[in-house]
Structures are given as C-alpha cells and as structure tokens.
Structure 1
Amino acid sequence: MKKKIIIAIIAFVVIGGISISLATQNKAVEVNTQAVIRGSIASYIEEIGEVKVKEHVNIYSPTAGKVSEVMVDIGDKVKEGDLLIKLDGEELSRSIEELEAQRSSILAQYNEAKKPVDKESIAKLNIEISNLEKRITTVEKEVNDKKVLFDAGAISNEEYNAAVRNLDVERGNLEKAKLDLEQLSKPVSGNILAQYEAQLKQLDLQKESLMDSGEDYKITATIEGTVLLKEVEEGSYLQPGMHIMEIGNTNDMYIESDILVGDIIKIKEGSEVILSSDDLDLTELKGKVSKIHPTAYSKVSDLGIEQKRIKIEIEIEDSTLDLKPGYELDIKIIIKKNEDTLYIPEDAVFEMDNKDFVFVVEDDKAILKEVKTGIESQRQIEVLDGLNEGDIVVLSPDNELDNGIRVKVTK
C-alpha cells in the first residue's frame, strides 16, 4: 500500500514538472519593437553659432569735444554721409588750439632731430675723455699705493676706501663722456624723422577737417546700414579715438562658430549646415560653410578647459528671416549623409563576438540576425546589410531573449 502511494506521488510530481516546463516554454517574453525605416541619415558636428553682419564699421571720435546733438538711435537706418553727431563749436575751437600746441611740440622735436652733427662739441668731448683716462691712470696708481700702506697698517681703512670711491667716480665720468660722444656722433635714424613727419601731417589733416566743419563739427556715417551700437548721448564729452557707434548692413549676415581643431578636419567649405533655435522657434534652417579661418586660437570652455579652436563662417540660405546680430543658433554641420538607406534605433543593436546583431520578430519568435552598420546619428543607426525595410526589430533586448524564443510585442 505504501509503495502505491509513493509511486502516485512521484508520478504527480513528474507530471506537474512537465506541465510547468511546457507552460514556461509557451510563455512569451514581452518586448518593445520598431520597424526598419527607409530614409536619409546623417552624422554631424554640433556647436553654437552667433549671427554676425558681414559689412560693418566702428565710428570713432576724430577729436575732443562736447556732443551738442545725437541724430540717430540704435536700430535706425542710415545712408553713407548721413549726419550722426554734432559737436559744440566752442569745444571745436579749443580742439584746434590743442592740435596747434601738439604740432608745435612735435615740430620742435623734429627740428632738433634734424640738426647736423656738432663737430666742436665732439672735439671737446674727445679732449675730456683723454683727460679723464689720464686721471684714472693716476688715481689707479694711488689706490694701489694706498692698498700697500693699508695692508701694512700705515693708513686707516677709511682713507683707503676714500681713494677707491674717488676711482669709481672718475670711471663713471669717463663712461658718461663716452656715451655722450656716441650719442652726439650718431646720425638720427630716417625712421625717426619719418615718424615725426607723419605725426605732423596727421595733425595738419585733423586741423584742416576741424576748420572746414564751421561752427559745429559733424560726424557722419561712412556706410549704409543700421545703427547696431551707440555709446554717446547729448552732453557727453568725447576724446580723440573714443568709440561712439557701430553701423552694420543687416541685409547681409552670416553665422560665426568656433570648431574644435579635432573636428575641423572633417569639415569642408560647402559642407551642409542645419540651423535651429528653440528660443526663436526656428527648425531646419539651411546653410553652408562658406569660410574656414586659417589660424587656430585658444579658448577656455565653460568647464574651464583650454581648447584649440578654429573659426568658421556659415552662409544662411534663407535671407528673408528676421535674424538680429548677436542671436545664437544651434548648428549641425553635416560631415556624412546617406539618402535612401535603412536605419533603426541604435538601442536595437548589440555586440557579440565583435559583430553586430539584432533580434527580429518573425512568427512571434525572436530570431537572431547579424547586421552590418554604418552612420550613427540622433540615436539612430544605419543598416547596410542583414535587414529589409519593414522588418520588426526588438528594442533594448535583455538576457531573457534567446534565438527562437517566443515573444509578445507590447509596443
């Protein structure tokens, strides 16, 4: 009786195990999937670019003076020759006087530099040098004699040091006389004279310009464009060379960006660029690289790391957009692009034995397939071989998946 009970229990366990095993085998693993898509894919370099104007000028004050009137404001359109600023006439008169004083000072230096060599003074210096050399010879003998007396205890240390100091003074006088002779004998450099002449000419031009301006000195626009920056107000006092305005042609703008040296070798003039900005609600604005600057420079990143970068210029293809100088845009410089190709999400691909694989869903089963991949971009990866358009691949496959296992698609 006991044997029958044991046999029944064993049979029950065996049957239960078989049932559980079959149930486990028939249970499908839930997976997320996506179809293989045909389209275009591109790899690119991402950076930030700033809108710049191609043609612009900085306006500087040519003279000192008080601003009596400012004729334009930021954003105003101006034409070449339009009046920008007036300076007070009284200040103008003082500026002319200052120019005349500067000219007199420079002219005096110029005339002094042009003086011929003074032969009489040179002769006197040669005589003085000869006399000094003789005195030094005599003083050197005295120092040597007093050194012997000092060593013998015949004279004091103070008396000996006085003789040494006297020798140093005479040597100093000789050195000065030689320098004076060298300076007096040396002709003035032609470059020095040319510099004086250039300064005099510049002052004459400034004075002529001020005299022609009449009661008020007027500063005018040198190009047609828009006032981008204004750093002067009515009542301001200007000094020569002070920056007062910037004018630019906003009808002709471009994008400037800094590219890492390691990335610049992948970029060529003519490379396609995609421009966008969430702040400006711009998407997929097209451009192309128009210029790559020849020289690299150092720039510290936001993380405090010094990097070598090269500037590039990007031409904007759509000139109707209302962009402003100084706007920042996200740029994507296309370095490789394939059209009419297959691609899938990159998290569908995994590596095994140095090869790339995916799981494809066929007849509710996960089938392992080797693939050959190409460009990676925006979490997508190109498939060059191993899949067909419309195939369903498993996303983020885990360790539960195995070749031939049943699956249930949840997404």
Structure 2
Amino acid sequence: MKRKKLFWIVTSMIVCTVSALAYVKLQNGQTVDTTTVVSKGKIKQYIEDTATVQSNKKQTAYIDTSGKITSIKANVGDAVKKGDILLTMDKGDLELKLQDANAKIEAAKAQLQGTDIANSVNKIEIAQAAVDQSKVTYDAASRNLNNAKTLYDSGSISKQELNNAEDAYKTAEAALKSANFQLEDIKDGTPDYVRNQYESQIKQAVILRDTITREIEKQQVFSPVDGVILEKLIDENASVTAGTAAFLVGDTKSLELEANILSDDIYKVKIGNEVQVSGKPIGNSTIIGKITKIAPEAKNITSSLGVNQKRVPVTIEIKDEAGLLKPGYDLDIKVITEVKKDTLVVPDTSVFDYKGSSCVFVVDSGKAVTRQIKKGIESEKLIEVIEGLKPGERILVKPDNNIKEGMKIRSK
C-alpha cells in the first residue's frame, strides 16, 4: 500500500511539472525559424511530364523497286545532303539489258545509214544474217513445240506451258517470214517503208534504253532532304520489295518536342501555353517553348512501371536557342497552364490540412492562430490564397507539430 501511494504521489508530481513547463513555454513563446508577411505576387500553375526531342522536318527515304541491297552508304548520325546516295541494289541484270538496248540502237542506226546504197552487198549481207538468225530461232521454236506436245500428252507439263511454246513458235515463224521479205526487198531495192521501219526501230530501242536507265536509277536510294540519318530501317544483303522504308532523314536544326499528357490533365493545356524544358542532356540550361499542337484523341501508352494510361500527344515548339538539343533526347517539361499576377500568395510549406480544410497559422498579437483558407492555383513553391488572408498579415512559414493554438510565437 505504501508503494502504491508513493507511485501516485510521484505521478502527480510529474504531471504537475510537465503542465508547469508547458504553461511556461506557452507564456514564454515558441521560437520559430521563419515568419512571413502575406503579400501579393505572381504565380504559375503547371503540369510536369517528359518529352522527346524530334525533328519537325523529316522524311522517309523509300526503295522504289524489288531486289537485293548490295551496299549501304549511310548510317545513323551521318550528315547527308539532298540527292546523296544512301544505298545501292543489285543492278547486274539491268546493266546487261542496257548494253543490249544500246547495241540495238547502234544496229538500227547502221541499217538506216545503209538504206541509201541500193542493193549494196553490205545491206544484203545484213538482211541475210537476219534471215539466218530468224531461221535458227524458228527451228529452235519448232523443236521446242514438238517436245512440248510430247510432254503435254504425257502429262509432264501444263496446258499453259504448251500454249507458251505454240506462241513462241508462231512468233519465230512470223519473224522468219519478215526477215525473208526484207531480204527480197533489199535485193530488189530499198523502198521508203524500210527506212521508216529502221527509224521506228531506233525510236523503240531508245525508249527501251531510257526505261532501263530509269530502272537502274531506282536501284539507288537518295536522300530526300538535307539533314541527318535518324533511323536506318534496312540491312545490307537483305532482299526487299518496292515501297520498303529504308531511312528516316531529319533536319537537326529544326527541332520540336513531343510529350504525352495524361488525359486527366489535358483539359488544362491550351495552344500557346509556355513550356519550360530542362534535364540532364542540356545541363543547367532551361529552354522555353510553347504548345503548338494538341492531338484530337488520346492513345493507350504503357508507362515504365507497366501501367496502361490514356495520354494525349502534344507538340512543343522551341522558341529559345536550342543548340544543345539532339533528336532522341528525353527531357523534363513544365507546361504553364495558368498565370496569375498581383494575387495573394503564400509559401506552400505554410499550408497544412486540419479537419479536412486547408489552414495556416496566423501570428495574431504574438500568438499562433489557426486560420482556414481557400486555395487557388498552385506552383512548385507557392499557393494562391483566394479567401482567408489579407495582405500584411504575418504567418508561420514552416509550422511543425509543436505549434499549438494560442501559443506565443517568437521569431529567431
């Protein structure tokens, strides 16, 4: 019983001592680091996100024909001029066809020149050679047709293949007849229609040559603009088809940023909003841009944490000197969605939640008084106060849990 009585006596003494100390502290005042006078100023509200640098003048270089890539002349990061060769494709067959077309042109020209010498031995020899060649072709076509008939009867080839053999035979037969007629005409003298025929042959051969030349040009891919290779989309020795994208070429002096803003925040963003751009790739610099495009619809994007989000693409034009920027850089952005001037602002550290309301501690007659406020827009370090405070009032900048209602306040 004595011990129990002693316990309650000691406990009572401790409570009295603590209460006395608290009363003394309350009377002497809590020392705080900082107070500030409420005043009007400027505040900017913003949305933070990331954006990627890209060229706003970029074009894709496509392959215009089918074939095998034999040589790639440019790689990612290379500077190129419009018209520079980026890759070449196998053109061996086309070069042989071009040689054949040139030979036909020269042969037709030679024949045309010879038409002025009637019954010349040279013309007769040429015509006879044409007959002999046509005869060889005719005999070969005849043999092929006979073989095709035999194979068709045995079921070894299709009807189409037999038809092809018959067509080749008829063509060879007609060519042989034509060659014989020309030989006879030359022996009898060269009429005007022969000259016209040779001239027509030259024109046809020139058309063929030009067509092959254009096809050879298609075996090369040229840079569509001055710029830098941003992407290489093909590999050497690959077989490709017409229309395959080969390179993405962009002008690195004309850049823009693309960001994807959360659909929940996009309503705040407007064309013309200022954007502050920063990040490690550009050191301590801050570049100013503005919103120039907002996509009409959101798209699904998976975040780095694997969360599927609805985001809206926006385009940011760079207004400042952007020499530090390179395509592909990922940078931090602040989209300034609202700016207010000459409005009441307080440090964000001064505002705290109390019983579901935003509050601050006002220093009134040297004591801390809780004051409920209505917040407006918020920035990184400031909060706009729409109701609850007046200019000239003093508040606590960083109140802690030791501050109590009615406690005296002394500034350091």
State TM-score, norm by structure 2.
Answer: 0.59
1:85 aligns with 2:49: no
Cα deviation per residue 1:268-301 (whole Å; 9 max; x = unaligned)? 1112222111343154321111111112222233
1:61 paired residue number: 63
Alignment of 1:242-253 (within 5 A): 242-253=244-255
Evaluate the alpha carbon distance shift between residue 256 and residue 59 of structure 1 in structure 2; reply closer, same or farther with a 3 A threshold: same
1: CA distance between counterparts of 2:356 and 2:233?
64
Deviates more, 1:86-95 or 1:283-292: 86-95
1: CA distance between counterparts of 2:29 and 2:97?
93
Match among 396, 400, 406 for residue 399 of structure 2: 396
1:26 aligns with 2:27: yes
Alignment of 1:50-199 (within 5 A): 50-90=52-92, 92=94
Cα deviation per residue 1:234-255 (whole Å; 9 max; x = unaligned)? x523412443221112222211
Q: What amino acid is aligned across from residue 288 of structure 1 in structure 2?
A: K
- Asked if the contact 1:293–1:311 (Cα under 8 Å) also holds between the matched residues in 2, the reply is yes
2: CA distance between counterparts of 1:209 and 1:314?
46
Cα deviation per residue 1:69-125 (whole Å; 9 max; x = unaligned)? 4433433333322222233432646999xxxxxxxxxxx9xxxxxxxxxxxxxxxxx
Cα deviation per residue 1:137-166 (whole Å; 9 max; x = unaligned)? xxxxxxxxxxxxxxxxxxxxxxxxxxxxxx
Evaluate the alpha carbon distance shift between residue 367 and residue 246 of structure 1 in structure 2; reply closer, same or farther with a 3 A threshold: same
Q: What amino acid is aligned across from residue 394 of structure 2 in structure 1?
A: D
1:340 paired residue number: 342
- Asked if the contact 1:275–1:284 (Cα under 8 Å) also holds between the matched residues in 2, the reply is yes
1: CA distance between counterparts of 2:93 and 2:229?
26
Q: Percent identical across equivalent pairs? A: 31
Alignment of 1:272-291 (within 5 A): 272-291=274-293
SS of 1:295's equivalent in the other structure is: coil
- Asked if the contact 2:71–2:237 (Cα under 8 Å) also holds between the matched residues in 1, the reply is no
2: CA distance between counterparts of 1:378 and 1:95?
71
Q: CA deviation at 1:313?
A: 0.9
2: CA distance between counterparts of 1:237 and 1:58?
18
State TM-score, norm by structure 1.
Answer: 0.59
Evaluate the alpha carbon distance shift between residue 210 and residue 58 of structure 1 in structure 2; reply closer, same or farther with a 3 A threshold: farther
Q: CA deviation at 1:327?
A: 1.0
Q: CA deviation at 1:214?
A: 5.0
2: CA distance between counterparts of 1:333 and 1:288?
8
1: CA distance between counterparts of 2:350 and 2:374?
13
Cα deviation per residue 1:321-375 (whole Å; 9 max; x = unaligned)? 2311111111222222112334222332245577644223466533444544321
1:378 paired residue number: 380
Q: What amino acid is aligned across from residue 290 of structure 2 in structure 1?
A: K
Q: CA deviation at 1:63?
A: 2.8
2: CA distance between counterparts of 1:21 and 1:45?
45
1: CA distance between counterparts of 2:339 and 2:351?
20
1: CA distance between counterparts of 2:298 and 2:373?
41
SS of 1:323's equivalent in the other structure is: coil
Number of residue pairs the alignment of both structures matches: 287
1:331 paired residue number: 333
Evaluate the alpha carbon distance shift between residue 20 and residue 211 of structure 1 in structure 2; reply closer, same or farther with a 3 A threshold: closer
Evaluate the alpha carbon distance shift between residue 42 and residue 216 of structure 1 in structure 2; reply closer, same or farther with a 3 A threshold: closer
Evaluate the alpha carbon distance shift between residue 37 and residue 324 of structure 1 in structure 2; reply closer, same or farther with a 3 A threshold: farther
2: CA distance between counterparts of 1:216 and 1:247?
18
Q: CA deviation at 1:256?
A: 1.0
1:256 aligns with 2:219: no
1: CA distance between counterparts of 2:33 and 2:265?
36
1: CA distance between counterparts of 2:304 and 2:319?
30
1:271 aligns with 2:286: no
- Asked if the contact 2:35–2:397 (Cα under 8 Å) also holds between the matched residues in 1, the reply is yes
- Asked if the contact 1:342–1:389 (Cα under 8 Å) also holds between the matched residues in 2, the reply is no
2: CA distance between counterparts of 1:211 and 1:323?
42
2: CA distance between counterparts of 1:21 and 1:31?
16
SS of 1:395's equivalent in the other structure is: coil
- Asked if the contact 2:62–2:221 (Cα under 8 Å) also holds between the matched residues in 1, the reply is no
- Asked if the contact 2:282–2:324 (Cα under 8 Å) also holds between the matched residues in 1, the reply is no
Cα deviation per residue 1:191-250 (whole Å; 9 max; x = unaligned)? xxxxxxxxxxxxxxxx976543559932212222222123456x5234124432211122
2: CA distance between counterparts of 1:94 and 1:64?
17
Aligned-CA RMSD value: 3.7
1: CA distance between counterparts of 2:307 and 2:411?
47
2: CA distance between counterparts of 1:309 and 1:208?
52
2: CA distance between counterparts of 1:215 and 1:263?
51
- Asked if the contact 2:360–2:395 (Cα under 8 Å) also holds between the matched residues in 1, the reply is no
2: CA distance between counterparts of 1:70 and 1:95?
24
* Unaligned segments of structure 2, at least 5 residues: 1-12, 99-159, 161-208
Evaluate the alpha carbon distance shift between residue 62 and residue 92 of structure 1 in structure 2; reply closer, same or farther with a 3 A threshold: farther
- Asked if the contact 2:68–2:240 (Cα under 8 Å) also holds between the matched residues in 1, the reply is no
Evaluate the alpha carbon distance shift between residue 399 and residue 345 of structure 1 in structure 2; reply closer, same or farther with a 3 A threshold: same
